[in-house]
Amino acid sequence: MAAVFPTQANRRRHGGSGVWVGLAVLTAALALIPVLTIAITAASDTGTLWSHVIAYVLPQAVQNTAILLAGTGIIATCVGTGAAWIVSAYDFRGRGVLEWALLLPLAVPTYIMAYAYLDVLSPLGPVQGVIRAILGYDSPRDFRLPDIRSMWGAILIFGFVLYPYVYLTTRAMFLTQAANLIEVSRTLGVRRSTVFWRVALPLARPAIAVGVSLALMEALNDVGAAQFLGIRTLTASVYTTWIIRTDLPGAAQIAMAMLVFVVTLIVVERWARRDQRFAHSAQRARPMDPQRLTGARGLLALALGALPIVIGFLGPALYLLFEAIERIEFAGLSPYLVRATLNTVSLSAVATLVVLFMGFAVAYAARLRPDRLTGAMARIATLGYAVPGTVLAIGILIPVAFIDRTLDHAMREWFGISTGLLLLGSGAALVYAYAARFLAIASGGIEAGLSRIPMSYDHAARTLGQTATGALVRVHLPLSRAALTAAGLLVFVDCMKELPATLLLRPLNFESLSTLLYGEAARGTYEDAALAALIIIAIGILPVILLARTGRRTPGANAHQG
Amino acid sequence: MTTLKRFAVASLFALTAASPALAQEVNIYTTREPGLIQPILEAFTEETGIAVNTVFLQDGLAERVAAEGESSPADILMTVDFGVLSDLVDRGLTQPVESEVLEAAIPEVLRDADGNWFALSGRARVLYAAKDLDLDTFTYEQLDDEEWRGRLCIRSGHHPYNTALFAAYIAHHGEDAALQWLEGIKANQARVAAGGDRDGARDIAAGICDISIGNSYYVGLMASGAGGDEQKAWSDEIKVILPTFENGGTQVNISGAGVAAHAPNREEAVQLLEYLVSDEAQKLYAEANFEYPVTGTAEAHPIIAAFGELEPDSIPLGDIVQYRTLASELVDRVNFDTFEN
């Protein structure tokens, strides 16, 4: 009714929301362009490709991919949720460090982790050497452990490097949302361990779903680690079809089929919990009151919580440190490193700002006008994350190069000057690629952050005369700072690690840490690259620590929201 | 707002990106890690005053150059695999070059008759064998012998280096024989077909396998100590045999280059290519990268020369390329990259 006879208050309430809906549509369009490009690329005749793929490639690749994802999902869920519960429900010596240190594996690129473990656990490596010495064998020919280049090796590596996505989301859930319900169950006499299974875990399901889907998409789209470990996944088939058979349309077709599959999975998961409501009325969300553990039980909790950090971070980081020191002694410091570090940090920072802005536009528009349009925009914005990075990079390259070419041509026609490649030549194409790829990470987090601010605040701000943008600046931004920081830092770390798009879309003479690292890898001198990898990890640690500190402040921030 | 930001970013990177101070320049798009050729390029700049800009594009070199079209800054397209190079030529991304220097320096079989591509260095696909193995000669046809059940290490069947070798086998013996041969090699695998060629040497040293297929220059990189003590120890455990086809020679792949179709600095590009086949540059290829020089006047590195006289296979590279897709399909058909032994 109000819409038919707009009152002054109502006009004010919708004032300025058009801009945000417009921005959301623009964001979604930008995210859709590369996916559409891939779809168009796929729409051509690829001859006998599919009969070959169905007969000889899919059976193995689908099975491998399914086992890899299932295994990775189980490990990431168990480790991530378990660790989040340990540091949320219990208090013990060392908990403060564990809280942030559990995020550290985020800073390690998966292929680095694979390489490090391949070397450390090789029959010639230190671990097997010690085992042989203890058992009294002289040569690896007499005794050696099973090869890590196998499915179980891949599952362990992916699981332990990707669990932080689950840890991050479930821990936020335990801290901010579950506390009251958990307290109530405790009051009703439920044992703490039973609370985990009967209250905390079911409550955390949406958070686990979000975390696991991020982790699984990382695993699904990986090429590097799978290559080392010899796992033929669907993404590896896409890669082979494109690179070895120079059949880009065929590769695009397989990638599109995978995208449809992933989207279906996500839709099904959402549908499966359509009737469940996870919202809670508790305005005064507050942190759980952790149970104090002392003595042996405290040590056990510390050991359990530290295990994922040792496997997912300390192991590879120490290995790299060792290799890097050896290389510096041997070959000295490369002058390219400083430049590459600067490039990486500045590029990732700019991309992160852009991603945050786009993510905010989408989430805020959906809040201002919760309808089908804005809902669809929010879903479309996340598509890029579900496409293998190598393929997405092509989806960016084609339209961006088209703009560059057209612009250059027009300028030459009209003014007789050549602009060259404006977007590809400046690095702007890279920013676009990062935005299209990592928007999903940002928008999910921001959406969750905004959803914790009661709608009554919006109404109050509007009644007091604020426009949509005014309310955003004065109410939403300050109140969702924690969520924004968390999203921003995740995106930043992912931008630093990103490889395929960076390789394909960078300007001449532009090296980032990850391309430097890959360059060394390409000539098979990973050891030389240890330093670049170490810098990626070191810079990655800073935001991770920041992220953890923000996380710890979240409950407090929420408490005074109420 | 986003466009504004983009523009700001654009200007930012325009400022930070290296702006060549020299008037003359030449731009290389390469699938070859530039670190390997950096010393050669620096020597070129010193000698001629022409600045060299590079970008290393592992995959999608052809897609990028094609997408950039007439606006592409690329002058030279350089690859480390002949398949990729001939693909660039097939897609019309190169242009013919006539140069007496290039024609005099490079043997006819190692360059395009129309001047669309030129080989710059060679690498042989050789056999690494445990050093105490009683083995002095080897043919590629022996790779599927039952003698080697569970004793062979090899990288992914879908890696371009193996694709080239398998395609050469098809060219020699036909599809059916190749399929059987690949099945035999798969049965001989001691571990999953993955990793790089050096892993073959490492796994021989570790006792996982007795023979392995790898490129010749890796042996130089390992044995010279350039890859560190650990790798030197691996190379100490192997000996290298130059295998041949029963009715031919050793399979040799090339690194090569062509001038881009829309090269803005065509003259400088040709000048650089000519420099790359000079004795000085070819010596650097041999000494820094342990590759085979393509010109008759330069010599291989002593470590590489010690393998024996290289007798390249008789079938021209251009005739092998057509079998790449088939080779890749056969790899799928025998499920080469899944370890089942």
CA distance A218 to chain B (A): 20
Task: Decide: B255 and B120 in contact? Cβ < 8 Å.
Answer: yes
Q: What is the CATH number of domain A46-273+297-329?
A: 1.10.3720.10
Q: Is the pLDDT at A117 greater than 60, yes or no?
A: yes
Chain B partners of A239 at a C-beta cutoff of 8 Å? 59
Return the structure tokens found at A322: 């060792």
- Chain A residue nearest residue B190, CA to CA: A147
Q: Which residues 7-36 of B are in CB contact (within 8 Å) with A?
A: 9-14, 16-18, 27, 33-36
Q: With bands split at pLDDT 50, 70 and 90, how would you rate the model's confidence at A464?
A: confident
pLDDT of B304: 95
Q: B156: which chain A residues are within 8 Å (Cβ-Cβ)?
A: 227, 230
In the numeric block, the tokens 């290490």 are attached to: B153
| Interchain pair A248, B193: CB under 8 A | no
Helix, strand or coil, per DSSP, at residue A33? helix
Q: In this structure, are strands A291-292 and A90-91 parallel, antiparallel, or unpaired? A: parallel
B202–A244 CB contact, under 8 Å = no
Whole-number pLDDT of residue A200: 80
Q: What letters, b where the CB count within 10 A reaches 16 and e where it falls short, cover A337-346?
A: eebbbebbbb
Domain-by-domain residue ranges, chain B?
A: 23-122+252-299, 123-251+309-333
The beta-carbon neighbor of A248 closest among B63, B221, B325 is B63
Of B68, B87, B191, the CB nearest to A149: B191
Whether the CB-CB separation of B274 and B167 falls below 8 Å is answered with no
Q: How far is CA B274 from the centre of its chain?
A: 20
pLDDT computed for residue B164 by the predictor: 95
Cα separation, A555 vs B131, whole angstroms? 64
Select the residue of A30, A118, A244 nearest B324 (Cβ to Cβ).
Answer: A244
Residue B259, strand partner residues: B76, B95
Distance from A362 to chain B by nearest Cα, in Å? 13
Given a contact cutoff of 8 angstroms between Cβ atoms, the answer to whether A430 and A346 are in contact is no
Contact at CB, A422 and B56, closer than 8 angstroms: no
Average pLDDT, chain A: 83
Say whether A46-273+297-329 and A15-45+333-562 share the same fold.
yes
CA nearest neighbour of A106 among A551, A562, A557:
A551
Grouping H, G, I as helix, E, B as strand and the rest as coil, residue A103 is coil
Does the beta carbon of B270 lie under 8 angstroms from any beta carbon of chain A?
no
Rg, chain B, Cα only = 21
pLDDT of residue A286: 64
Q: Directed axis angle between helix A58-89 and helix A151-176, to 10°?
A: 40
Q: In sequence order, which residues have a C-beta less than 8 Å from that of residue B14 and are 6 or more positions away?
A: A425, A426
Q: What is the DSSP letter of B130?
A: E
- Residue that wins the pLDDT comparison between A549 and A390: A390
What is the rounded distance in angstroms from the CA atom of residue B212 to the CA atom of residue B143? 9
Instruction: Assign A552 a pLDDT band (cuts: 50, 70, 90).
Output: low
Nearest chain B residue (CA) to A245: B325
Q: Which of A150, A244, A350 has its CB closest to that of B328? A: A244
Quote the pLDDT of residue A8: 46
> pTM of the predicted model, to two decimals?
0.86
Q: Which residues contact B186 (CB under 8 A, 6 or more apart)?
A: B193, B334, B335, B336, B340
Most confident stretch, A318-322, A349-353, A367-371, A498-502: A349-353
Chain-chain contact of A519 with B339 (C-beta, under 8 angstroms): no
**Closest-CA residue to A238 (of A435, A437, A58):** A58
pLDDT at A207: 83
Among B2, B56, B194, select the one facing A228 at the smallest CB separation. B194
Return the CATH number of B23-122+252-299, one of 3.40.630.10, 3.40.50.300, 1.10.3720.10, 3.40.190.10: 3.40.190.10
State how far the alpha carbon of A394 is from the alpha carbons of A39, A40, A221, in Å: 11, 12, 15
Taking CB atoms and an 8 Å limit, are A246 and B335 in contact across chains?
Answer: no
Where in chain A are the domains? Answer: 15-45+333-562, 46-273+297-329
Q: What letter represents residue B58's amino acid?
A: Q
pLDDT tens for B218-274 read 999 899 987 778 889 999 999 999 999 999 999 999 999 999 999 999 999 999 999
pLDDT at B64: 94
- Enumerate the residues of chain A whose CB falls inside 8 A of the CB of residue B16: 342-343, 346
The verdict on a CB contact (< 8 Å) between A30 and B208 is no
| Shortest distance, CA B29 to any CA of chain A (angstroms) | 8
Q: Which residues of A touch B36 (CB under 8 A)?
A: 523
HEC-encoded secondary structure of A109-146: CHHHHHHHHHHHCCCCCHHHHHHHHHHCCCCCCCCCCC
CB pairs under 8 A between A and B: 218
Q: Which residue has the tokens 């393929």?
A: A391
More confident residue, A289 or A2: A289
Q: Classify residue A86 as exposed, middle or buried by CB count within 10 Å of its CB (0-12, 13-18, 19+).
A: buried
Query: What are the residues whose beta carbons fall under 8 Å from the beta carbon of A42, sequence distance 6 or more?
Result: A249, A252, A253, A255, A256
Contacts of B53 in chain A (CB under 8 A): 508-509
Find the CB nearest A522 among B33, B227, B228: B33
Q: Do A523 and B36 touch (CB under 8 A)?
A: yes
Chain A, nearest residue to B83 by Cα: A244
Query: pLDDT tens digits for A269-284?
Result: 777 766 665 555 444 5
CATH pick for A15-45+333-562 out of 3.40.50.720, 3.30.70.270, 1.10.3720.10, 1.20.200.10: 1.10.3720.10
How many angstroms away from the CA of B137 is the closest CA of chain A?
25
Q: Report CB contact under 8 Å: A510, B325.
A: no
**pLDDT class of A96 with cuts at 50, 70, 90:** confident
- B:199-258 residues touching chain A, CB 8 A cutoff: 202, 205-208, 218, 221, 226-228, 230, 234
Q: Which residues of A touch B58 (CB under 8 A)?
A: 503, 518, 522
**Do residues A349 and A461 touch, judged by C-beta distance below 8 A?**
no
C-alpha separations of A219 from A67, A326, A327, A433, A495 in Å: 12, 31, 30, 19, 16
Q: What is the mean pLDDT of residues B161-173?
A: 96
- Give A246 to chain B, closest Cα distance, Å: 8
Q: When comparing pLDDT for B318 and B19, which is higher?
A: B318
| % residues pLDDT > 70 (chain B) | 93
* Domain boundaries B123-251+309-333, corresponding CATH code: 3.40.190.10
CA distance B51 to B43: 11
Amino acid at A556: G
Q: What is the mean pLDDT of chain B?
A: 90
| pLDDT, tens digit, 9 for 90 and up, residues A136-150 | 888 777 788 888 889
* pLDDT the model gives residue A551: 55
pLDDT at B107 over 60: yes
pLDDT for A150-172, tens place per residue?
999 999 999 999 999 999 888 87
Compute how many other C-beta atoms are within 10 angstroms of the C-beta atom of residue A528.
Answer: 24
Give dist(CA A245, CA B326) in Å, integer: 9
Could you say which residues from 69 to 128 on chain B have a Cβ atom under 8 Å away from some Cβ of chain A?
69-73, 83, 87
Note the pLDDT tens digit of each residue in B108-135: 989 999 999 999 999 999 999 999 999 9
Place of tokens 């086992």: A67
The Cα of B53 is separated from the nearest Cα of chain A by a number of Å equal to 6
Residue B109's CB: how many other CB atoms inside 10 A?
Answer: 12
* SS3 call for B328: helix
How far apart are alpha carbons A205 and A183 in whole angstroms?
Answer: 19
Task: State residue B9's pLDDT score.
Answer: 46
Nearest chain B CA: its distance from A17 CA (Å) = 16
**Chain A residues near residue B18 by CB distance under 8 angstroms:** 508-509
CB contact under 8 A, A426 and B9: yes
A503 with B69: Cβ contact below 8 A: no
Higher local confidence (pLDDT), B5 or B210: B210
pLDDT for the residue numbered A177: 65
